[in-house]
Chain A
């Protein structure tokens, strides 16, 4: 199976603080990985580097064969548009754009917009009747589903979900998790940060972090390459 994520001896320092300390692992296409660990263990830093939102201090972080450490600003911009789909804990929708426009915004930065496709993407996450609603008119769960539709619209190689259910009640958590399960079934590669062990167990594998180091892998298929 093709490797989508290849991380080798990845380090990230913020001044004297070492957020990632020699992390290495690999993710194959179609895998659903849960990244777990306490606050400040480096989970979000890893997601940000893999998503091209941050750059490593040293080491390699390759997504679909592209080492993000070697990309300049323009290269990172294209990388984010073409290869990554983000789902954030805080949803991060543009408040003055409707649901469909929020999805189309990702299309706009990727290439060209297709409103019909954006509507279909929203219908797929069960929001066919909410396409013209502003984020303020949607519940938290609905906003997160818009974010899922937006993450999928450009057919990314990797979906990065940072605590995707962290701000949701139980009912909406179930809806979003079932959506992630569907995406996994369809063959999407997902890297999901979560605190909750119950959610982590839904993934194929779990990678646990502590103090910027990968400390535990919870599935036999995991091949940690600790530095």
Chain B
């Protein structure tokens, strides 16, 4: 009891001198806590960001033959039912979006044009970078509307609301342009209609050429999901899109390296700041130590009191800093990722323990007190 009373009085009596150390510990803890929260939260956020870049798993016929159909080609196809049934059995929480595709090369105004039949409600989730003039098609049964790529619209002089007639072999279909897609890629040269409409135009009911899946999670999670799909669909080819996964992994690795480096730097700077304060305090406390020794205090008991003081300083500063850091990471999440990064509970004890360790490391100058000779100190030397 007396031990903690002494520690409390030390903190109270030296609060002015300890102010620099307190500010250093709270600031250090706030940055460390924010960085840790970011490190843990950024993985989810980045994964979500990468999901906007498109699908990361593609299911296609095992032959690897092109899934496009032209007048002359017989495509490699998959029954729509096979793929969808398997996908429904896997955990839906991991799937951000999924859509089957059937590509054909039809003619519009006598110009060949790639027509993609898909679930148009999923298309915008699979590639969130699409910009649309007009309106999305949200119903998979809406066969009367279609979306056209920016280049197709320019070549065919199409505007939102115009009719578009598509011809494939001896069949034809008509749709009204609901929107013009600006994807900045191959999609700008395509026409998008509902899967059912394209299957009907190509006379391939229930057939698809490819399925795209966007799985939430890190590269290993995506690879695991792809492996499970491959096991369930041995007759087809299931491929994770490596560029996305690898870019994600590399970026996460770099961010983690940056965060760890910064955290180490902050810890060292905090320790140095505490070290400076403690060196000055150790000099001031030589008289107190000399007196305590003369009263029969062993150096281990005396330094123990001072170390507890520093430990309490580290713990309190760490807790306060962790709270500030949580708020900081919340704000940074909003600024950088557009959504808040929620504070992680494990960051609090980690930050507090780190700050206690840093504060104790900064208390190294207290070792000098072991050499105090009470007779000299009490004589005023």
User: Among the listed A51, A82, A98, A109, which residue makes an inter-chain contact with B301, where contact means beta carbons less than 8 Å apart?
Assistant: A109
CB contacts (< 8 Å) of B291 on chain A: these are 92, 94
B2 and A92: CB pair below 8 A? Answer: no
Q: Mark B267-310, 1 if CB is under 8 A from A, else 0.
A: 00000000000000000000110011111111001000000000
CB contacts (< 8 Å) of B373 on chain A: these are 53-54
Q: Mark A65-107, 1 if CB is under 8 A from B, else 0.
A: 0000000001001111110101010101011111001001111
B6 close to A (CB within 8 Å) = yes
Task: Give Cα distance in the complex from A82 to B298, angstroms.
Answer: 13
Residue of A nearest to B3 (CB): A108
B288 and A80: CB pair below 8 A? Answer: no
A77 and B296: CB pair below 8 A? Answer: yes
B5 close to A (CB within 8 Å) = yes
Interface centre among B9, B301, B378 (most CB of A within 10 A): B378
Task: Give Cα distance in the complex from A94 to B2, angstroms.
Answer: 14
A53 and B375: CB pair below 8 A? Answer: yes
User: Among the listed B2, B296, B301, which residue makes an inter-chain contact with A80, where contact means beta carbons less than 8 Å apart?
Assistant: B296
A48 close to B (CB within 8 Å) = yes
CB contacts (< 8 Å) of A86 on chain B: these are 294-295
**Interface segment out of the listed B10-18, B154-162, B167-175, B332-340:** B10-18
Separation in Å of the B372 CB from the closest CB of chain A? Answer: 11
Task: Give Cα distance in the complex from A205 to B13, angstroms.
Answer: 43
Task: Give Cα distance in the complex from A74 to B297, angstroms.
Answer: 10
Task: Give Cα distance in the complex from A80 to B293, angstroms.
Answer: 8
Chain B, interface SS category: helix
With A53-B374, A104-B2 known as contacts, the answer to whether A96 contacts B298 (CB < 8 A) is no
B5 and A110: CB pair below 8 A? Answer: no
Separation in Å of the A184 CB from the closest CB of chain B? Answer: 22
Interface centre among B10, B295, B378 (most CB of A within 10 A): B295
B294 and A53: CB pair below 8 A? Answer: yes
With A94-B291, A96-B12 known as contacts, the answer to whether A110 contacts B375 (CB < 8 A) is no
A82 and B6: CB pair below 8 A? Answer: no
User: Among the listed A78, A90, A109, A110, which residue makes an inter-chain contact with B292, where contact means beta carbons less than 8 Å apart?
Assistant: A109
Residue of B nearest to A53 (CB): B375
A82 and B296: CB pair below 8 A? Answer: yes
Separation in Å of the B338 CB from the closest CB of chain A? Answer: 51
Q: Mark A123-134, 1 if CB is under 8 A from B, else 0.
A: 000000000000
CB contacts (< 8 Å) of B3 on chain A: these are 108
Task: Give Cα distance in the complex from A51 to B374, angstroms.
Answer: 11
B9 and A110: CB pair below 8 A? Answer: no
A113 close to B (CB within 8 Å) = yes
With A92-B378, A113-B1 known as contacts, the answer to whether A77 contacts B12 (CB < 8 A) is no
Residue of A nearest to B10 (CB): A96
Q: Report the contact-size class of chain B (Cβ under 8 Å from the partner).
A: 20 to 34
Task: Give Cα distance in the complex from A96 to B284, angstroms.
Answer: 13
Task: Give Cα distance in the complex from A74 to B300, angstroms.
Answer: 10
With A101-B9, A109-B301, A113-B1 known as contacts, the answer to whether A80 contacts B380 (CB < 8 A) is no
B5 and A101: CB pair below 8 A? Answer: yes
CB contacts (< 8 Å) of B13 on chain A: these are 95-97
Residues of B343-381 whose CB lies within 8 A of A: 373-375, 378-380
With A92-B291, A96-B12 known as contacts, the answer to whether A109 contacts B374 (CB < 8 A) is no
With A96-B14, A105-B6 known as contacts, the answer to whether A77 contacts B293 (CB < 8 A) is yes
A80 and B375: CB pair below 8 A? Answer: no
CB contacts (< 8 Å) of B375 on chain A: these are 48, 53-54
Task: Give Cα distance in the complex from A113 to B301, angstroms.
Answer: 15
A144 close to B (CB within 8 Å) = no
Task: Give Cα distance in the complex from A54 to B301, angstroms.
Answer: 20
Task: Give Cα distance in the complex from A97 to B298, angstroms.
Answer: 19
B378 and A81: CB pair below 8 A? Answer: no
B5 and A109: CB pair below 8 A? Answer: no
Task: Give Cα distance in the complex from A106 to B5, angstroms.
Answer: 14
Separation in Å of the A99 CB from the closest CB of chain B? Answer: 12
B296 and A88: CB pair below 8 A? Answer: no
Interface centre among A96, A106, A113 (most CB of B within 10 A): A96
CB contacts (< 8 Å) of A95 on chain B: these are 13
With A77-B296, A109-B292, A109-B301 known as contacts, the answer to whether A88 contacts B378 (CB < 8 A) is yes
CB contacts (< 8 Å) of A41 on chain B: these are none
Residues of A23-77 whose CB lies within 8 A of B: 44, 48, 51, 53-54, 74, 77
CB pairs A–B below 8 angstroms (19 shown): A48-B375, A51-B294, A74-B298, A77-B293, A77-B297, A80-B293, A80-B294, A81-B296, A82-B296, A95-B13, A96-B10, A96-B13, A96-B14, A97-B6, A107-B2, A109-B296, A109-B298, A113-B1, A113-B2
5 interchain residue pairs of minimum CB distance: A81-B296, A96-B13, A53-B375, A109-B297, A109-B296
* 8 additional contacts (CB under 8 A) given A88-B378, A108-B6, A109-B298: A53-B373, A53-B374, A54-B373, A90-B380, A101-B5, A105-B6, A106-B295, A109-B301
Where the two chains meet, the residues of B that have a C-beta atom closer than 8 Å to any C-beta of A are 1-3, 5-6, 9-10, 12-14, 287-288, 291-298, 301, 373-375, 378-380
